[in-house]
Amino acid sequence: MTEPTVGEDAEARARAERHVGRPRERREDPDLLTGNAEYTDDITAPGETHLAFVRSPHGHADVEAIDTRAAEAMDGVLAAYTWADLREAGIPGRLPITDRVRGDVPGHPVLADGRVRYQGQPVAAVVAESRYRAADAAAAVDVSYTPREAAVDPVDATASDAPTLFEACPDNVATAGELGDEAATDAAFEDADEVVELDLVNNRLVANAMEPRAALARVHDGTLRVEMTSQSPHRHRSKLAQTLGLRENDVRVVAPDVGGGFGHKGHHHPGEAMAAWAARELDRPVKWVATRSENYQAGAHGRDHVTTAALAFDADGTIRGLRADTYAGVGGYGLGSGPALATWYGRLLAGEYEIPAVCCRTRGVFTNTAPVHSYRGAGRPEAIYVLERLVKRAADALGCDPAAFRRRNLLDPDDFPHETAVGATYDSGEYEAAMDRALDLVDYEAVREKRGEEGANGERGKRGERGERAERDDGRLVGVGLANFVESTGGGFESGVVRVHPDGGVTVFAGTHSHGQGHATTYAQIVADELGIPDEDVEVVEGDTDRIPAGTGTFGSRSTITAGSALAESAADVREKARDIAASELEAAPEDTVFEDGAFHVAGAPEQSVAFADVARAAYGRLPGDLEPGLEETTFFEQEETAYAFGTHAAVVAVDPETGEVDVERYVAVDDCGVQVNPKIVEGQVHGGVAQGLGQALYEGAQYDENGTLLTGSMQDYTVPKADQIPELTTDATETPSPTNPLGVKGIGEAGTIAAPPAVVNAVVDALEPYGVDHVDMPLTEERVWRAIQQSG
């Protein structure tokens, strides 16, 4: 055998030194963790003013009169605005609304147009020299309302005697959709040996980002610049421009550090539109920062599905068909594409299984509640919850082990690409391997044996990891729950620019915007590999419509797939051009020039070389021949096919039948998001997603009374999980590359919120098996679980 050539040798070394796949620490964290992040409210504009909203205390009412005189007369108050002012200015003044909404229903007005349709809807706005003065002035605005009857529940709101929110939509049904083949599904149900049915509520959630929504708007040189809490700066720019009747090139949206989003910072809201308009009117910077209460009342909410679903299967456990009928709350206004969300959630209803017939009917329904839009998972959790609850119910009905029931119906690795009965085309998957790994890690067989037995967890109680558990008096019921899931990830286009500076340093620009995802770390790894340089040499810039060509944004577990791929392709183009420049410097043919150890070499004559930094410097001087100066490339990457991440999560719970308290004792997450660029960040995403999914399963849920008054308007009433309520998580992964993008990656940002709710509810139902409880709606509060046990009596 001959010696490896220099090239081969280098290739082996390069593989060993690749950055992709390494669990690098997040470069964002030092600033984020030490208070050095720069959030929107940390930015101060000289002469800035402060905006506060007057919000409706009613869920549904007519606005009879607004008296702003007392507010305007206060010292330090610059202006008080109502809908009349926006009308007079001749701007659209309404947020764009999807054309999927039935009838000619208007979009959300920036300020109430004579009627309020949810509690917390902005009715007037005041601008003052200080935030305190603005709050005082808002309180001094006198608004007269005539309350109307409210529609709150999405099912009840479609009743013929329900109050109507919009004349153009008398039945309150904003959007309606059907997916799958109804006839085939009916036939499958008739043929099947067994059918189980469940009524399920997917609880309404409130996005509780650490940083509430905020905007700082200012005008210079005719350009409106808005620093704001945005997941999607370019989309926000488009929408702001539409609301205010501006051209997009007169608007610049800058997203500084953003303290979490979970979807609701991807939507366009009245807050930023009002601040921007006021800044133009007053020719002064205007800042608006939502309070936590405003976030609860008027931040977009998520989920809010009421579903009747059924699964048909044969006695041997073969699934024959699935049917779902969903009423989804849309809220008091259609916010962007919010009302359309429900109409496509059914796309994931087949999950990991071979289900020959699926049919899903949906109605998005206007109710006198905060507008609903995508919330971490955005339709995927709702679908998987329906499916995995049915699967558990079916297995129990058959007396079959739920894992075995699942295994019987799993798609096989050679089934891909696979088109489901609801029209989703899965790219790749090895579902059974992931499920086996999860079962193994959760010690499934052992737990199943003890499920439902009082005191069954005594052994684990002795682990002694937490003192109080080791000592506990064990009268609790153990259960194990599984959730198999697929998740559609990515989609759309993203821009990625790779710019090499004259000194060889690299800055990359992407149209996504990290708000906790660690893009700066991940993207640097991707680009560093393509350019064969240390990832510290790569700076990552996001969040500025002026600095970044175009963008779709960060949501839907799409960023690494789309922006990562755009950057990888741009970096490959840069490498190619750098090689051409190096070749001309080395007086060699480009194809005889190899890149290794940070330099280009002549193949076979490694001593003839030119360093990457020298190529960069040369690129900004005069280049020979047809070579254009510069060393920068831009790619608009379009992900044409969806990448389907998947996995199996398993939860072990102990339920105290005396109190209804649920303790998640163990949680195992086995995820497959294809190639992992940074396993540490993947793990972090799973941790965060599971915590949020546990929140939905156990604690969270927005509650309105019959007048549309929010009963859960603070962190005391709407309880997000605290650190000590999160069990120890065991994460693991399989890696099935996706063919949909050059990196082979799939998204991971939402997996935990998809899998955790059905895993936990399935576990609790499993634990309550002795009581014959076949379902409890989320959140599984002590009261609900206790009542379920009592009622099963």
> Closer to a copy of itself at the Cβ: 638 or 706?
638
Q: Is 423 left (phi over 0), alpha (psi -120 to 50) or beta?
A: left
Separation between Cα atoms, residue 549 and residue 498, nearest integer Å:
12
> Which of 441, 541 has the CB closer to a copy of itself?
541
CA dihedral in degrees (100, 643, 328, 94; nearest 10)?
Answer: -40
Beta bridge partner(s), residue 180? 359
CB of 768 to a copy of itself, least distance (A): 47
Least Å from the CB of residue 614 to a copy of itself: 14
Which tokens is 647 given?
A: 């996995």
Taking the complex as a whole, how short is the minimal distance between the CB of residue 129 and a copy of itself, in angstroms?
A: 16
Which pair of tokens denotes residue 32? 């984020």
For tokens 């003192």, the residue is 467
We find the least distance from the C-beta atom of residue 197 to a copy of itself, in angstroms, to be 38
CA distance 448 to 401: 9
Nearest distance from C-beta of residue 562 to a copy of itself, angstroms: 10
Distance CA 696, CA 321 (A): 28
Peptide bond connecting 417 to the previous residue in cis, omega within 30 degrees of 0: yes
Of 401 and 546, the one with the shorter C-beta distance to a copy of itself is: 546
Determine the angle formed by the axes of helices 380-398 and 402-409, rounding to 10 degrees: 110
According to DSSP, the residues that pair with 662 across neighbouring strands are: 655
CB of 147 to a copy of itself, least distance (A): 40
Burial class (CB in 10 A: 0-12, 13-18, 19+), 22: middle
Asked whether the beta carbons of 523 and 642 are under 8 A apart, the reply is no
Closest CA to 565 of 627, 636, 515: 636
Q: Which residues, 6 or more positions from 544, have their beta carbon under 8 angstroms from its beta carbon?
A: 233, 252, 253, 254, 255
Residue 790: Cβ within 10 Å count? 11
Q: How far is the CB of 498 from a copy of itself (least distance, A)?
A: 11
Q: Which is nearer to a copy of itself, 284 or 320 (CB)?
A: 284
Q: How close are the terminal C-alpha atoms of the chain, in Å?
A: 78
Q: Between 546 and 735, name the residue whose CB sits nearer to a copy of itself.
A: 546
Q: Cβ of residue 632: shortest distance to a copy of itself, in angstroms?
A: 5
The whole-angstrom separation of Cα 755 and Cα 486 is 9
Q: How far is the CB of 380 from a copy of itself (least distance, A)?
A: 21
| Residue among 5 and 223 whose Cβ is closer to a copy of itself | 223
Q: Which is nearer to a copy of itself, 317 or 504 (CB)?
A: 504
Within 13 A of 450's CA, how many CA atoms are on the CB side? 17
Helices and strands, number each (H, E), in the chain = 23, 30
Distance CA 320, CA 751 (A): 26
For a copy of itself, the closer CB: 42 or 314? 42
Q: Min. distance of Cβ 681 from a copy of itself in angstroms? A: 18
Considering the complex, state which of residue 318 and residue 634 has its C-beta at the smaller distance from a copy of itself.
Answer: 634
Q: How far, in whole angstroms, is CA 167 from its chain's centroid?
A: 33
Q: Identify residue 549 by its one-letter amino acid code.
A: P
Report in angstroms how near the CB of residue 44 gets to a copy of itself at its nearest. 4
Least distance to a copy of itself, CB of residue 127, Å = 20
Q: Which is nearer to a copy of itself, 481 or 511 (CB)?
A: 511
Token digits of residue 770: 């002795």
CB 218 within 8 A of CB 45: yes
Q: Which residues bind a copy of itself (CB under 8 A)?
A: 31, 36, 38, 42-44, 46, 220-223, 238, 241, 247-250, 493, 495, 497, 499, 501-503, 505-507, 537-539, 541, 544, 546-547, 549-550, 620, 622-623, 628-630, 632, 634-638, 640
Minimum CB–partner distance for residue 629 and a copy of itself (Å): 4
Q: What would the two tokens of residue 154 be? A: 């999405």
CA-to-CA distance for 418 and 409, rounded, in angstroms? Answer: 14
* Closer to a copy of itself by Cβ: residue 199 or 503: 503
Give the whole-angstrom CA distance, residue 508 versus residue 352.
Answer: 37
Give me the least distance between CB of 18 and a copy of itself, in Å please.
22
Judged by beta carbon, residue 25 or residue 592, the one nearer a copy of itself is 25
CA 74 to chain centre: 42
Pair of tokens at residue 8? 């081969």
Considering beta carbons, is residue 289 or 434 the nearer one to a copy of itself?
289
- Cα gap 617→599, rounded to integer Å: 13
Which residue, 161 or 628, is less far from a copy of itself as judged by CB? 628
